[in-house]
Structure 1
Amino acid sequence: MAQRHLDPTDPTAQAVTGDALAGYLRARATEFLRALRTHRETGGVPAGGAEESVDAALLLRRSARRISASLHTFRPLLDPEWSEELRPELAWLSGTLKLEHAYEARLERLLQALNRLSGTTALPAQPVAAVAVGTLPDGARAAGGGRGTGTAPVPLNAAPPGTGGPARPAPAPERGNLTVGAAKAGALLERQLTLARTRAHSTALQALGSSRFHAVADKVALLASEVPLTPHAPGTALHPLAAAAEERLTQAVAALPLLTAGHPYNAEALVHGLSPDPSPHPQDGPWHQVRLLLRLHRYAREVLHGGNSPVAVGLLTAGQSLNRHRDASEAAAAAAQAARTPRIAPATAYALGVLHADQRHEVEAARFAFQQAWRKQTVGAS
Structure 2
Amino acid sequence: MAQRHLDPTNTTTAPADAVAGYLRERATEFLRALRTHRETGGGTASGAEESTEAALALRRSARRISGTLHTFRPLLDAEWSESLRPELAWLSGTLGREHAYAARLDRLVNALNRLSDATHLPTQTAVAARPETGPSSIGAATGSTEVGAGTSQVRAATGGRTAAGAARVGAAASGTAPRPPATPDRGNLTVGAAKAGALLDRQLTLARTRAHSAALQALGSSRFHAVADSVAVLASEVPLTPSAAATDLGPLAAAAHDRLRDAVSGLPLHSAGHPYNAEALIHGLSPDTAPHPQDAPWHQVRLLLRLHRYALEVLHPEAVPVDLRLLAAGEALNRHRDASEAASAAASAARTPRIAPATAYALGVLHADQRHEVEASRFAFQQCWQKETVSTS
Residue identity opposite 1:348 in structure 2? T
Q: 2:21 aligns with which of 20, 23, 30?
A: 23
Q: Which runs of 5+ in 2 are unaligned?
A: 124-136, 149-156
The reply on whether 1:220 has 2:218 as its aligned counterpart is: no
Q: Aligned pair 1:318/2:313, yes or no?
A: no
Q: Distance in 1 between matches of 2:221 and 2:119?
A: 53
Mapped to 2, the partners of 1:113 and 1:50 lie a distance apart of 27
- Distance in 2 separating the partners of 1:254 and 1:145: 27
2:38 equivalent in structure 1: 40
Using the TM superposition, give the Cα deviation of residue 268 of structure 1 relative to its aligned residue in structure 2, in angstroms.
3.3
Q: Is the 8 A contact 1:328 1:360 kept in 2?
A: yes
Q: TM-score, normalised by structure 1?
A: 0.85
CA contact (8 A) 1:14 1:239 kept: no
C-alpha distance in 2 between matches for 1:246 and 1:266: 27
Residue deviations 1:258-313, cap 9 Å, x none? 122595567732233xx1x3211001010000000000000000000116212221
- 1:221 Cα deviation after fit: 0.2
CA-CA distance at 1:34 after TM superposition = 0.6
Deviations 1:240-271 (A, max 9, x none): 00000000001111111112259556773223
State the TM-score, normalizing by the size of structure 2. Answer: 0.83
For the pair 1:56 / 2:54, whether they are aligned, the reply is: yes
Equivalent residue for 2:119?
A: 129
Name the counterpart of 1:152. Answer: 160
CA–CA separation in structure 1 for the residues paired with 2:348 and 2:338: 15
Q: In the aligned structure 2, how far is the partner of 1:301 from the partner of 1:142?
A: 41
Match in the other structure for 1:3: 3
- Percent identical: 69
Equivalent positions of 1:300-315 (< 5 A) are: 300-306=311-317, 308-315=319-326
Q: Measured at CA, do residues 145 and 356 of structure 1 come closer, stay the same or move farther in structure 2, by a change above 3 Å?
A: closer
Cα offset for 1:168?
5.5
Name whichever of 140-149 and 214-223 sits farther off.
Answer: 140-149
Q: What is the RMSD of the two structures over their aligned residues, measured on CA atoms? A: 3.3
**Paired letter, 1:62:** R
Would you say the 8 A contact 2:3–2:388 is kept in 1?
Answer: no
Paired letter, 2:105: L
The match for 1:330 among 311, 320, 341 is 341
Q: 1:206 aligns with which of 190, 214, 217?
A: 217
The aligned length equals 361
Structure of greater relative contact order (alpha carbons < 8 Å, 6+ residues apart): 2
Partner of 1:268: 282
Once residues 151 and 238 of structure 1 are traced to their aligned partners in structure 2, the CA distance between those partners, rounded to angstroms, is 52
Q: Is the 8 A contact 1:61 1:93 kept in 2?
A: yes
CA shift in 2, pair 1:320/1:143, >3 Å: closer
Deviation for aligned residue 1:18: 1.8
Asked whether the equivalents of residues 336 and 377 of structure 2 are also in contact (C-alpha less than 8 Å), the reply is yes
Is 1:254 equivalent to 2:252 in the alignment?
A: no
1:379 is displaced (CA, Å) by 3.8
CA contact (8 A) 1:333 1:356 kept: yes
In structure 1, stretches of 5+ residues that fail to align are 120-127
